[in-house]
Structure 1
Amino acid sequence: MGDIAVVGIDCVFPGARGVDAYWDLLMRTRDAVGELPDGRWDRAAFPGVSRGGFVEDIDAFDHGFFSVSPREAAAMDPHQRVLLPCAWRAIEDSGTSPTALAGTDTGVFVGVMGGEWGRLTLSDHDAVTPQLGAGSSAGMIANRVSYHLDLHGPSLAVDTACSSSLVAVHLAVNALLAGECATALAAGVNLVLSPTLGLVYRQLGLAAPDGRCKPFSREADGIGRADGVGVVVLRRLEDALADGSRIYAVIRGSAVNQDGRSNGVTAPSRWSQQKVLEAAYRRAGVSPDEVRFLEAHGTGTALGDAIECAALGSVHGVPRDEPCAIGSVKGNLGHTEGAAGIAGLIKTALALHHRIVPASRFADRENPRLRLAERGLRLLKSPLRLPRHGTVAGVSSFGMGGTNAHVVLAGAPRPTAPPAAAARAHDRRAPAAGVFTLTADSPDALRRNIAAQAEAAGRGPRTGAAALCRSSNRVKTGLPYRFAVTARDTRQLAAALRAAAEAEPTARTPRRPRSEPVVALLFTGQGSQFAGMTAGLHRESPAYRRHLDEADAALAPYTGTSVRELLLSGDERVHETRHAQPALFAVGYALARTLTDLGVRPAAVLGHSVGEFAAAVVAGALGLADAARLVARRGTLMGELPPGGAMLSVHAGQDRITELLAELDGAAPGVSLAAVNGPRDVVLAGDAGELRRLDGTLRGQGLRTRLLDVSHAFHTAALRPALERFGTEAGTVRPARPRIPFASTRYGRMLGNDPLDAAYWVAQAAEPVRFGAALAALVGDTAPTHLIELGPRPQLLPLAGRSGLAAGVDFLHPAPGADAAGAELAETVAALYRAGLDPDWDALYAPGDRRTERLAPYVFDGSSRFPRGHRDPAAAVPPEEDLVPARGTEAGPVPVAEAATATARRPAGSVLAAVVDAVTEVGGYPPGEIVPEARFYEDLGFDSVMIMQLKDRIEAGLPSLGELSVPRMLPALRSVASLADHLNDLLVAEAA
């Protein structure tokens, strides 16, 4: 058979919440057996069955997270309630966001034994509600997971008594191999809700007086019951390897059989146990002598242990170099019944993962009657170290009714790719910056989970954080409230997370993005260049390196040199026009392509002067090769012009500058307007000497000025000698119509149908830059939420800020200056993520950091409790034909006749109050919790049963409506407010 990878695990067992706690319990050989927690049953009434392995707080359930109303949560079998968060955490542990599996063929296979909740609840006929139908069905346990996570593969509960969960694993494995699903959740869940089965065990002579299982011990005297829930995430091995999943262990084969007509329906059969082992090894292609250790069923009953050891010895007692180690986790936990198989499988997978088998409790009190050594078996008195590769192990689980299961596991395969550490060392670079992301279902939940991640990040040694960040991007996503922070190492990350968790809940509280951000890209022009620009980003960003190489290759035939090497070497020649323009084009292009690799889809582009060439490529109007040729030719021709030109930035409006120049009456004849960048930002250009004299004059009049780092008077008539030849070059290019809205700084408006032809590019170089008008047109046309400047340092964003044309728009720059590196790009992506962008995260990380790291699991809200005996509020509701619930009065219920009169005069706000009251009543919500914006399905967890109940409550509360039509209600069931509006319209129509 094919191999199946165990890629995710979560569990809650007595004394052990989570995988790490479970492993710690096993390695310390701890005993988790104790007294019955309060609230299960009366210990005094059943003293002989009130010890065992128990999980605390099984009545806690984050019903809001799973969109379950309080009333439905109260009716749900606790098995369903504890399994849902465990399944979520196991999927996270597999390196996948649970929301990413929504709509897929993922299967759910759950082992569960008996149906105590149904017996406890349905026997009280007066308390029966519609919710108890699904809430008390054992078969619904798997269906709940599939429903709430929107999984479309096979979904079934398995009850073969104590072997249920290992049989569930077997079925999941076969479903994966048959192609029924690509991912499978195999689980087991068991909660000791009543003393009934304990009494049965006692009467059968199977109950341990102290509630403790003592497998293979001379003191073995019966079973102690225990709670437990465990989930493993399974994938076909080839799929897991292709996806780079972390693999705990590999399932090589499995088998299930039945005792048939043996010496009693509840008695074990040695021969059937022997056969199921042989069948599993045969399917796995494994010889029994290869098996290094076995997680046995090992209940600690005298008969059961003896029969199992005889079967194990018959199969494994072949001549072997060393005995086969056996153990049973029931010695630590007790017998988790329907979850026993998954408890053993998780223990075995963790042992293979950590390459050590925990010692067995009671190994120092071995039962000599089992003849273990004679049979080639041994108990572990101390942990057993395992080799790095090649270990094979087995897990057995036997049902009381005779259904037996065995699963064969092996360690994860040897990695075929070089280790991540080696890949990073090959890069010879410092730890790269990453974006650590979290999502949650509410602001409070987000804060709670930020705190949990801060604690986890601070526990380990200081290491690079990029791989951990990348894992968070894949795993901690899909919920409505978002958080993102950047970090280079785990110490930085822990500090940033801790600060966020401890911050006061002010206006900085994360908001729920309603849509993706609307991004406009601004490409910087000449004057922004500097030696070594973007060298830090090139060092740290694989995507930027790749795209700068593309631009360099496109420019090289026309520049005669490598622009990339010019930038990285810190060559001061970058200030020369013939180098500056191609270099700025390469930087703008590479930054833009890096962002698009990350998933940014620009809504519009704008380029300042030479920046328009990169903007045209991104917009699809020019190809990279054509744009590179034009930019290189433009820079060369302009660089060949006589030097002596200059440009002066002046903080004044165009009208003011025009008046001043007129007043000077020819004192600056070679100076003209070169750019209008905003209402109070213009640029003058002309002869350097004349411009310096004018600079002094303007400063004397109180105006702020700044000479730009350029060699020529660009965007003036001084360029005309070069533009004729440039126009000939541009005439060889056939531009396309931009696919992305293009704000033209030549025209000062959106481009429309105007071609980006030779005439455009010649005039664009000779005429003033109308950046301010172009920006105003872009903002008015596309309403961006974010402006991102693409160049070596911010020049256009300050202009946009001073202009007042982009009020309320966020400004971002992925490379804002000489010290910029990967952190600034990461900050840009983080800001866009918080605003609603779902980036293509892998483009941010080097290949060596694209691996799965374990993260702290999601922390659910444990404040809502649904203990046994929590009575459904519906049972206290008076019959509808007698009373209508009171609406905000202290006078008590209102008789129907009075209510009808009042309803006829009810204003729209009162209709809303009536709907809120009805929703509160049907869902069992606390008063005041329902808000008008609450959505029936996504937020309140309403289903068809609750909709019918809501219809009845509304008819009682608004009798003048008469009988409501459910089909007519359905379109209005978007939110509480939309339903109230619909009902109010009906009342108005009725009154008319």
Structure 2
Amino acid sequence: MGDIALVGIDCAFPGAAGTAAYWDLLMRGGSGTGPVPAQRWEARDFPAVSGRGGFLDDVDVFDSDFFSITPHEAAAMDPHQRLLLPCAWRALEDSGRAPGALAGTETGVFIGMMGGEWGRLTMSDLAQVTPLLGAGSSAGMAANRISYHFNLTGPSLAVDTACSSSLVAVHLAATSLLAGECDTALAGGANIVLSPSMGMVYGQLGLAAQDGRCKPFSADADGIGRSDGVGLVVLRRLDDALADGQRIYAVLRGSAVNQDGRSNGVIAPNRWSQERVLHSAYRRAGITPDRVAFLEAHGTGTVLGDAIECAALGAVHGTAREAPCALGSVKGNLGHTEGAAGIAGLIKTALALHHRIVPASLFADRENPRLRLGERGLRLLKSPMRLPRGESLAAVSSFGMGGTNAHAVLGSAPRRPRRTGPAVAGARTGAARGAVGVFTVSGDTPEALRRNLAVQAEAVARRPRGAAAALCWSSNRVKTGLPHRFAVTVRDTDELVSQLRRAADRDPAASAGRPWGRPVVAFLFTGQGSVFPGMTAGLHRESAAYRRHLAEADEALAAPLGTSVRELVLGGDERVHRPEFAQPALFAVGYALARTLTALGIAPAAVLGHSLGEYAAAVTAGALDLDEAARLVVRRGALTGELPSGGGMIAVATGPEEVAGLLAGEPDTVVAALNGPADTVLSGPRAALARIEEELAGRGVRVRQLPASHAFHSPLTAPAAAKLRTEAVRCAPPAVPVASTRYGRMLHHEPMDADYWADQIEEPVLMDPALRALVSDIAPTHLIEIGPRAQLLQLAARGGRAPGAEFLHPAPGPGATGRDLAETVAALHRCGLDPLWEELYAPEHRVVEPMSPYVFSCAQRYWERRTPLAPARATTPAVAPAGERPPERQEPGAGPAAGRGTGDSGAPAAGRDPGDSGDPGGSGDPGGSGDPVLHAVVRAVTEVGGYPPERVVREARFHEDLGFDSVMIMQLKNRVEARLPHVGEVSVQQMLPALRSVGSLAAFLGDLITARPA
């Protein structure tokens, strides 16, 4: 059997909500057992059943909005399913993978379940049966819901082999991984003690502990105490996990499953079958049993079960050993978690191997002498056992009532080379500064974001002080980008803690609205007047990606230029101001910046280049390849450098119409650029420009001389234009829309050929009309200037041509560093972009650090107490617990299946936006009574989904926001027809196009009513 890496864990057991709490419970020898919660059943009603056991706190809590599940559906779901969904999310995060990143992958889900108690409790009253209860009570849905909501397409199944179910699920997951059916697998199980019925069965069989506690291998053992629990592990093939740099808790070396066959009773254990499954697992693992350091036994604490198991374990492990094999069972701490028993033991064992210490066994101080553990080469641990250096091996057993046995062999994780480099050194020495990174946190609502910011702040505060780049990389990789986002650029953990706490203290109502689509980005490429010695040197020092792309440009320019442009760009060489060097240098910077951004996943929806900037814009758009553009830029620089001196350029703060008269008197002077409504550039002989400047100053018009060596974009450049027109230019239709500053509009079918580039030297730069056309065509949310300093953004701001757009610059001047690039990425991420984060970090920082898991809302509770012998009490589907105010805005639909975090466009979710009156009809009248059709639709939606009417706003989308599926749509159709008899019968096929939102359905139905004859 090939090796399988256990790379992620999440769990909740009695007295231990989370993996860290579970390990703490084990190490301190704690017990999670306690009295039966009144929520379950009244203990006095069932005196034959122990009034104690292991019970999870807040087992009724479920963040249904996050998973786009309606309140009615959530209330109908088996509580096991409600436990498993958030557990799966946290386990995937713990594996170092964002759950959303696995959407669409062949990830498998294997869930162990036992009994189907929820179905018996809910489906026995035939008058109350509904489709939601039918789906909610299916055991197979425990796995299928995870696959559905996370959009996982690998094998998905639930298995019931009684108490061995979850370990059998792990075995099946490993087998599927090795067969190549999936590359990642979630495996585990869940158990909730819903009623006393199984306890009554144990009591009638003589297997129930009087005090509700399992006491495995103890002289005081008197039977089973039942327990809740949920646990999932993330499994991958070991080679894949190592290649992806994932943390490995332990390695599953081999596992086996068998059956007792016909023995002395269908529910009685069979020693010989147990021995066979042990031998089979060790054979598959390729090891001998004497190498196993400790055993996590099934260990229920029943007289017969413990005796048979110890005999089988001793027969296999007790021979040819230098020291006895340590033996334990977590049931002493938790009770018997039944369908989740195997995963509880597996997680305990994996954590012991990870921490290299085995917890002591409860009740070891009163060992049952009848088990003859010492004779059999076994011993209970009265204190924790340190594991020696090197590989350690352990094993887990799980046996099911009915005879299905499972055994798994685990080894410690392979040693990795010690990491070195700036990230580790900084963390180790507490260095104050380090490489820059972007730390990201997100939530499905503003309140969820605030909650998770606070949790991350405290988690980072507990870490050693030092560099934060690796931690930032981890947040980018592990945390799915949900709709409400926080992103901050930092260099060290002190700075990060401060920023997180400050953000967490803000009022959630003040948070920005939900980003409904990805940012629409336009690149604006700066022209020649932006060059200066040492431009982008700070960014070059800190960004490996920028260094790589600048080197590409340098290589392309080297042959036609005859020298390296990189030193001119980065050093203090004043030759950078001469046209023959300034133009290649600026092109190199523009190309490298654009390639750095696109490599980060920032793809422009359109490009605009100002004068020389059009060359890098053309390469980014695909109209020119790099080598062709480099050749043309060098040729252009050389030709303009040969022009006679004496020309210049001035910028005047007025429109061209106000200087038309002055230009008429100076025929050699022309408008060189229209940069804005009141931003005009004039070009011509210096003497003529001086006369114009004096006249305009007298009129109170601001004039500024530009650092131009020649009168560019004027008739004085005609000789250079003529020579460039003779060049043979290889060009292609652009793949990205181009706003041409040559034509002052979007480029249509005109080629960017030699004529284009020749005219572009001589004719004016029509920046203002080109930008106006770009904004009209693509409606950008962000303008990013590509160049060594900010110029075009200032022009756009003064001209007011892009109202509402955010302006960004990855290298805004001489002091620019990697932080400016990171700030650009952070700003776009906050608005819905999911960047390709790898390009932002050096390889030594791309190491996943452990992070606190996502914290779900506990404001929604779902529980209906039912027992076989007592009548059902009322369901309370959504009640906020004491001390927690329900969020003002609960936005449904966080799972990948609902498009959460994917940047899909759409309307606002079901909930209140800031300033929303809460009126679904938009009339200030709750319930949409101002529009009777909308009112009827809102009421039908609330009846089907269980939402309060104020949650069902006009813009709420049925699938993404309200969690409606095909069954609910059919129910909605029937209710709408009943509430709106004038509509008549409407087929689902007719309704489908209108099911975009509550408002679109109401409009469709209103049109139908209007169209029908009175």
Q: Same fold per TM (> 0.5)?
A: yes
Partner of residue 954, structure 2? 932
Partner of residue 2, structure 1? 2
| CA shift in 2, pair 1:82/1:712, >3 Å | same
| CA shift in 2, pair 1:553/1:55, >3 Å | same
Partner of residue 680, structure 1? 678
SS at match of 2:6: strand
Moved more, 215-224 or 273-282: 215-224
Q: Would you say the 8 A contact 2:250–2:411 is kept in 1?
A: yes
SS at match of 1:255: strand
Residue identity in the other structure for 1:195: P
Q: Would you say the 8 A contact 1:908–1:981 is kept in 2?
A: no
Q: Would you say the 8 A contact 1:12–1:228 is kept in 2?
A: yes
Partner of residue 778, structure 2? 782
After TM superposition, the structure 1 = structure 2 runs for residues 904-943 of structure 1, keeping only pairs within 5 Å, are: 909-943=931-965
Q: Would you say the 8 A contact 2:521–2:604 is kept in 1?
A: yes
Q: Would you say the 8 A contact 1:244–1:851 is kept in 2?
A: yes
Of 560, 563, 588, the residue aligned with 1:561 is: 563
Partner of residue 711, structure 2? 713
| CA shift in 2, pair 1:750/1:915, >3 Å | closer
Partner of residue 634, structure 1? 636
SS at match of 1:252: strand
Quote how far apart the aligned CAs of 1:383 are. 2.7
Partner of residue 12, structure 2? 12
Q: Does 1:606 align with 2:611?
A: no
| CA shift in 2, pair 1:510/1:352, >3 Å | farther
Q: Would you say the 8 A contact 2:294–2:325 is kept in 1?
A: yes
Residue identity in the other structure for 1:174: T
Partner of residue 1000, structure 2? 978
Residue identity in the other structure for 2:491: R
| CA shift in 2, pair 1:952/1:842, >3 Å | same
Rounded Cα–Cα distance in structure 2 between residues aligned with 1:157 and 1:608: 61
- Where does the alignment leave 5 or more consecutive residues of structure 1 unmatched? 875-905
| CA shift in 2, pair 1:717/1:946, >3 Å | closer
Partner of residue 891, structure 1? none
Deviations 1:524-554 (A, max 9, x none): 1112122221112112222211110000111
Q: Would you say the 8 A contact 1:534–1:815 is kept in 2?
A: yes
Deviations 1:407-426 (A, max 9, x none): 1111223337x736478779
**Matched positions, count:** 953
Deviations 1:226-276 (A, max 9, x none): 110001122222332333332222211111112222233333222222111
Rounded Cα–Cα distance in structure 2 between residues aligned with 1:100 and 1:432: 26
| CA shift in 2, pair 1:51/1:712, >3 Å | same
Of 432, 436, 442, the residue aligned with 2:435 is: 432
After TM superposition, the structure 1 = structure 2 runs for residues 279-298 of structure 1, keeping only pairs within 5 Å, are: 279-298=280-299
SS at match of 2:1012: helix
Quote how far apart the aligned CAs of 1:107 are. 2.2
Q: Would you say the 8 A contact 2:218–2:364 is kept in 1?
A: yes
Partner of residue 87, structure 2? 86
Q: Would you say the 8 A contact 1:389–1:412 is kept in 2?
A: no
Q: Would you say the 8 A contact 1:437–1:477 is kept in 2?
A: no
Deviations 1:640-676 (A, max 9, x none): 55555443222222222333455xx66xx87543322
After TM superposition, the structure 1 = structure 2 runs for residues 512-911 of structure 1, keeping only pairs within 5 Å, are: 512-513=515-516, 515-641=517-643, 643=645, 645-660=647-662, 672-688=670-686, 691=689, 695=693, 698-720=696-718, 722-723=720-721, 725-728=723-726, 731-869=727-865, 871=874, 909-911=931-933
Quote how far apart the aligned CAs of 1:692 are. 5.6
Rounded Cα–Cα distance in structure 2 between residues aligned with 1:166 and 1:933: 46
Partner of residue 162, structure 1? 163
Moved more, 753-762 or 780-789: 753-762
Of 960, 969, 975, the residue aligned with 1:953 is: 975
Rounded Cα–Cα distance in structure 2 between residues aligned with 1:487 and 1:780: 36
SS at match of 2:528: coil
Q: Would you say the 8 A contact 2:606–2:739 is kept in 1?
A: yes
Rounded Cα–Cα distance in structure 2 between residues aligned with 1:422 and 1:795: 35
Partner of residue 478, structure 2? 475
Of 451, 470, 491, the residue aligned with 1:488 is: 491
Partner of residue 442, structure 1? 445
Q: Does 1:22 align with 2:25?
A: no
Residue identity in the other structure for 2:584: P
After TM superposition, the structure 1 = structure 2 runs for residues 354-373 of structure 1, keeping only pairs within 5 Å, are: 354-373=355-374
| CA shift in 2, pair 1:641/1:138, >3 Å | closer
Q: Would you say the 8 A contact 1:908–1:984 is kept in 2?
A: no
Deviations 1:497-540 (A, max 9, x none): 32222223456423232x33322211111121222211121122
SS at match of 1:649: strand
Residue identity in the other structure for 2:860: S
After TM superposition, the structure 1 = structure 2 runs for residues 176-187 of structure 1, keeping only pairs within 5 Å, are: 176-187=177-188
| CA shift in 2, pair 1:216/1:985, >3 Å | same
Residue identity in the other structure for 1:111: G
Quote how far apart the aligned CAs of 1:794 are. 0.3
Quote how far apart the aligned CAs of 1:959 are. 3.2
Partner of residue 258, structure 1? 259
Quote how far apart the aligned CAs of 1:487 are. 2.5
Rounded Cα–Cα distance in structure 2 between residues aligned with 1:62 and 1:546: 45
| CA shift in 2, pair 1:927/1:518, >3 Å | closer
Residue identity in the other structure for 1:605: V
| CA shift in 2, pair 1:949/1:750, >3 Å | closer
Quote how far apart the aligned CAs of 1:680 are. 1.0
Quote how far apart the aligned CAs of 1:478 are. 5.3
| CA shift in 2, pair 1:245/1:376, >3 Å | same
Partner of residue 869, structure 2? none
Partner of residue 207, structure 2? 206
Q: Would you say the 8 A contact 1:931–1:976 is kept in 2?
A: yes
| CA shift in 2, pair 1:971/1:660, >3 Å | closer
Q: Would you say the 8 A contact 1:284–1:408 is kept in 2?
A: yes
Partner of residue 507, structure 2? 504
Deviations 1:282-302 (A, max 9, x none): 001111122122211122233
Rounded Cα–Cα distance in structure 2 between residues aligned with 1:421 and 1:308: 50
Q: Would you say the 8 A contact 2:526–2:613 is kept in 1?
A: yes
Q: Would you say the 8 A contact 2:217–2:368 is kept in 1?
A: yes
Deviations 1:58-116 (A, max 9, x none): 11112222222222222222112111211122122222233333333322221112122
Moved more, 715-724 or 947-956: 715-724
Residue identity in the other structure for 1:824: D
Residue identity in the other structure for 1:792: P
Partner of residue 458, structure 1? 461
TM-score (norm 1): 0.90
Rounded Cα–Cα distance in structure 2 between residues aligned with 1:634 and 1:693: 30
Quote how far apart the aligned CAs of 1:784 are. 2.4
Deviations 1:672-729 (A, max 9, x none): 433221111122344556656754554444332333333333333444555555555x
Rounded Cα–Cα distance in structure 1 between residues aligned with 2:299 and 2:705: 85
After TM superposition, the structure 1 = structure 2 runs for residues 302-451 of structure 1, keeping only pairs within 5 Å, are: 302-387=303-388, 389-415=390-416, 419=419, 421=421, 431-451=434-454
| CA shift in 2, pair 1:976/1:685, >3 Å | closer
Quote how far apart the aligned CAs of 1:589 are. 0.3
Q: Would you say the 8 A contact 1:71–1:872 is kept in 2?
A: no
Moved more, 907-916 or 603-612: 907-916
Deviations 1:456-499 (A, max 9, x none): 23321234333333333333225444443332333333332322
Quote how far apart the aligned CAs of 1:28 are. 2.1
SS at match of 2:22: helix
| CA shift in 2, pair 1:153/1:763, >3 Å | closer
Q: Would you say the 8 A contact 1:471–1:852 is kept in 2?
A: yes
Rounded Cα–Cα distance in structure 2 between residues aligned with 1:15 and 1:610: 67
Quote how far apart the aligned CAs of 1:343 are. 0.5
Quote how far apart the aligned CAs of 1:907 are. 9.8
CA RMSD of aligned residues (A): 2.8
| CA shift in 2, pair 1:958/1:84, >3 Å | same
Rounded Cα–Cα distance in structure 2 between residues aligned with 1:266 and 1:597: 61
Rounded Cα–Cα distance in structure 1 between residues aligned with 2:730 and 2:676: 32
TM-score (norm 2): 0.89
